[in-house]
Structure 1
């Protein structure tokens, strides 16, 4: 489990300034992040280090992420937020 400061930084990193990303990332952290394994939590944290245009393209399905772990996390976020 992430310590409170690290989780707060993670939530701040979800605020991207692009509405399409904001409506995916922050709700995912608030609703599903605690259910992830620690490894998946770290993968999500790494995903947030990606550039906004890349994140947008991956989440909208315009491009496929070449990193298999990040691609799996993108799929997890999209599937979770759609529900």
Structure 2
């Protein structure tokens, strides 16, 4: 269950060391996170624990993520932010 406190921590975790990631994560968590099924929320939370260089490479298409759940979430974030 994602309590208000847990969601607030997620919002804080969306603030990364790279502006390129901030502009992906912050709008996603503000506009789309609440609509996700519980399982996808957990995957998004796990995605935020990854290192910035890996995240940047996955989102920019420079490297493929080996975890299918994280790959799915990367694509979901990219699709949502493009809309």
The residue that corresponds to 1:47 in the other structure is: 47
Alignment match, 2:2: 2
Give how far 1:45 is off: 0.0
In the alignment, does 2:63 pair up with 1:63? yes
Cα distance in 2 for partners of 1:61, 1:31 equals 23
The structure 1 segments of at least 4 consecutive aligned residues displaced by more than 3 Å after TM superposition are none
Aligned-residue CA RMSD (Å): 0.7
SS of 1:66's equivalent in the other structure is coil
Instruction: Give the TM-score normalised by structure 1.
Output: 0.97
**Residues 28 and 80 of structure 2 are in contact (CA less than 8 Å); yes or no, is this contact kept in structure 1?**
yes
How many residue pairs get matched? 83
CA-CA distance at 1:17 after TM superposition: 2.0
Give the deviation of 1:9 after TM superposition: 0.3
Runs (5+) with no aligned partner, structure 2 = none
TM-score by length of 2: 0.97
